[in-house]
Amino acid sequence: MTNSPYVRAALAQVVLDNVPPLIRRTLLDQLAFREEYGFKTEAVLAFGDSGFSIQRSDLFQAVRTVLAGACEAEVTDTDGRAWMLRNESGREIQPNLVVSSGEHRLVLPDFAVLSQDSAIRLRSLVEAASDVNLPVSAQDAWRSILTERALEDDEVDPFHSDIRDTPVHLERSIRREITAGHSSVSSLVPSSRRYFERLVGVYDGSASIRGYAAGAGHKFMQKLSAWRPYEGFLFSLFLSSHAALTAEIGVDYLGSDDLVRAYDFIQNHGDILSRLGAIEVGLRILTERPEIEPYVLRLVHRIRDDDVEAAAGEFKLFAASFVLVDGELSRTRLMSKEPPFYRRLASLAQAALIHRQLVQCGIDRDSFCEWAFNNRGEQYYMQSLADMRTEPRWNPDLAAALQMKADFFGRIMIASRNFEKNIGAGELRDLALGDGPGTLHALSEFPRPYFPGPLEGAEDSPNDLPDDLTRVIEAQLDTDEVEPSSFVALVNSAMVFKVTSGQAELAAKALRLGNYRLANVEEKSQLLGILNGLATVAAVARNPVLADELRILVRRYRHDAQYGLPIEEAMRICLVASGSRDHLTEWREFAGQWLTELAFSELEGDEGEVLHSHLHCLLQAVPELWVSCARADAALKAYCSR
């Protein structure tokens, strides 16, 4: 014998009452669960700061009554106050619902999806979907319901949530919040995977940004263009964090007026990433669309002339926005299963979206930058160091405004060379391809423009090490007296050229022969430069031997009387060198042992607190590290509460 549906529901209700409210709500949000036990849900709707809150079923019943043709319907809010609901659409087909009570008047959101008229429901869907560029798959899902029937009470919020979870809607919401003078990390960086997929496309399993750009990126750009050519172009530019992506931005559907209008917008109200993308696209299409040349020139000027040190600098603001977004995505672990390049693509696009709203609203940029770094700087930094396991050629310091500007210079110079035939004689050519005063080349600090970009950490350098440089590296490392200069050529080559594992082994051998001591160290910054550089060599060459020897060298200098290494530097070197191991198990073993050694070592001042805080962020980014770092966590907890 089985229980009757009534008994089953009653028993389920008893258990449900003792379930944590959050889990209870999650279960009740699921249609299958509600249907299984015949549960109905009820909710109270509150409308911002209006003071109007009401039982959902009461309001929706009144909405249905009015949408069915009644002049008005009375509703009572949770405080017992009576409100009158009317449809004030006049001759418009789509309803415009307003509630009023005395002098209070409130326009309600679009509840046309509750109408019994399928034409009204579907028109509402089409308009909302077009307005926010709702993906076709989401449109289809709602259309299949709305064609058949009005939404149930508990389907209305998921519908509106779907509409809200779009870059178009978020842009407006961020601008509104900034104008009103209040904003938060969670409102700037949604914790919704669906949102980010609508911003940069759905990750398709590509191993590199180039693969992604040619696959999902290409399709995504096409959809943006098909939605609305002008707006789609402006949204495409948020994906300008790699030249392979801007190569996929098409302008075929944009007429001359709209193209000029878009370039004018980007020049005057755009974010700095979109400006770079507009330059790369512009250089590519210059022959067919010469009308944009003056805009491209002015965009290059704006990038060239930005002062990275100034409080109002564009690069500084963009770098801070990126750190904020990437740190938050690390904290929420929203993309913990995808490669870092995809998360960074999303972070850079969102940073550009935020940046575009900030420059239009006018804010205290210095305060924003400080707030961003204080809130998510540490999480960003630890996540980026952990990312070096799979993408060893990009490190968190490369997000500094100075390096970002250099990276932009590099991309503009490369694009200019690639499309040199499109650029006629004149200022643009001189600026991008010349080497006179004021040109990008003259203002570049070699080799910064040729460092890998944030999405290129997994790629080998395209540049083979020149033979003469190979000989210099070998000559420097073949020495009886091992000193910082012995490693200079190797270290300076690591970010620009392909460094082989054999060359890393030579460095490891030199460290051994020098008995883990560097002669003729002139100052601490020089020592730090070499140690960090060797860690980078170990990572990019995937050479565990050099990483092992470096660990001994760092141990040697950690408490050196003259050149002692702060704990933050030791931890950074440890995590960069850990990039020598790409397999998670080996990586966490190596990093964990080293971090545990640091945790148990003699700590000075606030080093224990600093290390524990950094470790906490690291464990958040890579929970698998608990297996090798739990002892370190315990030691630091004991130390910090001593």
Partner 1 sequence: MTTTETAELKAIRESILRVRMSDWLQLPKEAPWLDKTLKAYIRVLKNLWKDGADISEVTARSNWIADQVDVRGWAHSLGPENGDNVVLIGRGAHILLLLTPPTDTQQDIVDAYWGWMEERILGPIREQFPELYVWLVEWHRRQIAEMAATELTEGVAT
Site string for partner 1, 191-220 (x = CB under 8 A): x-----------------------------
The conformation of residue 623, written as its DSSP 8-state character, comes to: G
Of the two residues 269 and 637, which places its CB atom closer to partner 1 in the complex?
637
Q: Under the criterion CB under 8 A, does residue 164 sit at the interface with partner 1?
A: no
Examine residue 379 and tell whether it contacts partner 1 (CB under 8 A): no
Contact 324, 188 (CB under 8 A): yes
Query: Taking CB under 8 A as the rule, does residue 333 contact partner 1?
Result: yes
Q: Residue 532 in contact with residue 573, Cβ under 8 Å?
A: yes
Q: Is residue 180 part of the contact set for partner 1 (CB under 8 A)? A: no
The residue within the footprint of partner 1, chosen from 70, 93, 310, 627 (CB under 8 A), is 627
Q: Does position 119 bind partner 1 by CB under 8 A?
A: no
Q: 113: closest CA among 166, 163, 39? A: 163
HSE-up (13 A, CA, CB side) for residue 346: 30
Min CB(587)–partner 1 separation in Å: 13
Q: Give the integer Cα–Cα distance in Å for 186 and 87.
A: 34
Q: Judged by CB under 8 A, does residue 331 bind partner 1?
A: yes
Shortest distance in whole angstroms from residue 601 CB to partner 1: 13
Name the one range near partner 1 by CB under 8 A: 119-127, 234-242, 512-520, 633-641.
633-641
Q: Which is nearer to partner 1, 11 or 107 (CB)?
A: 11
Say if residue 294 is preceded by a cis peptide, omega within 30 of 0: no
- Residues 445 and 488: beta-carbon distance below 8 Å: no
Q: Which of residues 579-608 bind partner 1 (CB under 8 A)?
A: 585, 600
Q: Closest CB to partner 1 among 182 and 337?
A: 337
Question: In the set 332, 379, 439, 543, which binds partner 1 (CB under 8 A)?
Answer: 332
With binding defined as CB under 8 A, does residue 620 bind partner 1? yes
Helix axes 153-164, 136-148, angle to 10 degrees: 160
634 binding partner 1? (CB under 8 A): yes
Per CB under 8 A, 614 contacts partner 1 = no
Q: CB of 548: closest distance to partner 1 in angstroms?
A: 20
Which residues pair with residue 76 across a beta bridge? Answer: 82
To the nearest whole angstrom, how small is the minimum distance from the Cβ of residue 450 to partner 1? 37
Q: Bridge-partner residues for 54, per DSSP? A: 45
Instruction: Please tell me whether residue 57 binds partner 1 under the rule CB under 8 A.
Output: no
- C-beta closer to partner 1: residue 154 or 633: 633
What number of other Cβ atoms are within 10 A of residue 525's Cβ?
A: 9
Q: For partner 1, which stretch binds (CB under 8 A), given 125-133, 306-314, 328-336, 422-430? A: 328-336
**CB of 184 vs partner 1, minimal distance in Å:** 14
What is d(CA 115, CA 112) in angstroms, rounded to the nearest whole number? 5
DSSP 353-386: HHHHHHHHH---HHHHHHHHHHHHHHHHHHHHHH
Residue 2 near partner 1 by CB under 8 A: yes
CB of 586 to partner 1, least distance (A): 11
**Separation in Å, CA 128 to CA 139, 279, 503:** 10, 32, 59
Element (H, E) at 106: strand 104-107
Alpha carbon separation from 583 to 21, 209, 390, 586, 595 (Å, rounded): 40, 21, 8, 5, 18
Return the SS3 of 99. Answer: strand
Query: In whole angstroms, how large is the CA radius of gyration of the chain?
Result: 29
Residue (519 or 627) nearer to partner 1, CB: 627
Sign of the CA dihedral running 174, 175, 177, 183: positive
Chosen residue from 11, 82, 107, 552 binding partner 1 by CB under 8 A: 11
**CB closer to partner 1 out of 546 and 629:** 629
Looking at beta carbons only, is 311 or 627 nearer to partner 1? 627
Work out whether 463 is an interface residue with partner 1 (CB under 8 A). no
Using CB under 8 A as the binding rule, whether residue 31 contacts partner 1 is answered as: no
Q: Cβ of residue 188: shortest distance to partner 1, in angstroms?
A: 16
Report the distance separating Cα 561 and Cα 563, nearest Å.
Answer: 6
Report the Cα 1 to chain-centroid distance in Å.
56
Smallest distance, Å, CB 214 to partner 1? 30
CA nearest 599: which of 585, 614, 620?
614
> Nearest approach, Cβ of 618 to partner 1 (angstroms)?
13
Q: Is 161 in the site for partner 1 (CB under 8 A)?
A: no
Inter-residue contact 591 to 578 (CB < 8 Å)? yes
- Binding of residue 34 to partner 1 (CB under 8 A): no
> Could you report how far apart the first and last alpha carbons of the chain are, in Å?
63
Asked whether position 356 contacts partner 1 by CB under 8 A, the answer is no
Binders of partner 1: how many residues, by CB under 8 A?
A: 44
Any contact of residue 61 with partner 1 (CB under 8 A)? no
Q: Determine if 633 is a binding residue for partner 1 (CB under 8 A).
A: yes
Sequence-separated (6 or more) residues with CB below 8 Å from residue 10 = none
DSSP per-residue string spanning 35-74: HHHT-----EEE-TTS--EEEHHHHHHHHHHHHTT-SEEE
94 touches partner 1 by CB under 8 A:
no
519 binds partner 1 per the rule CB under 8 A: no
Buried b or exposed e, range 97-128, using 16+ CB within 10 angstroms: bbbbbeeeebebebbbbbbeeeebbbbbbeeb
Tokens of 4: 């009757």
**637 belongs to the binding site for partner 1 (CB under 8 A):** yes
For 555, phi then psi, to 5°, come to -60, -40
- Which of the ranges 108-116, 121-129, 291-299, 329-337 carries the binding residues for partner 1, by CB under 8 A? 329-337
Q: Which stretch binds partner 1 (CB under 8 A): 25-33, 147-155, 230-238, 568-576?
A: 25-33
Beta bridge partners of 106: 99
Query: Rounded to the nearest whole angstrom, what is the least distance from the CB of residue 18 to partner 1 in the complex?
Result: 6
Closest distance between partner 1 and the C-beta of residue 169, in Å?
21
CB of 635 vs partner 1, minimal distance in Å: 5
Q: What letter does residue 88 receive in the DSSP assignment?
A: -
Stretch of 148-156, 223-231, 482-490, 625-633 contacting partner 1, by CB under 8 A = 625-633
Site residues for partner 1 per CB under 8 A: 1-3, 7-9, 11-12, 14-16, 18-23, 26-27, 33, 36-37, 191, 331-333, 585, 600, 619-620, 623-624, 626-631, 633-635, 637-638, 641
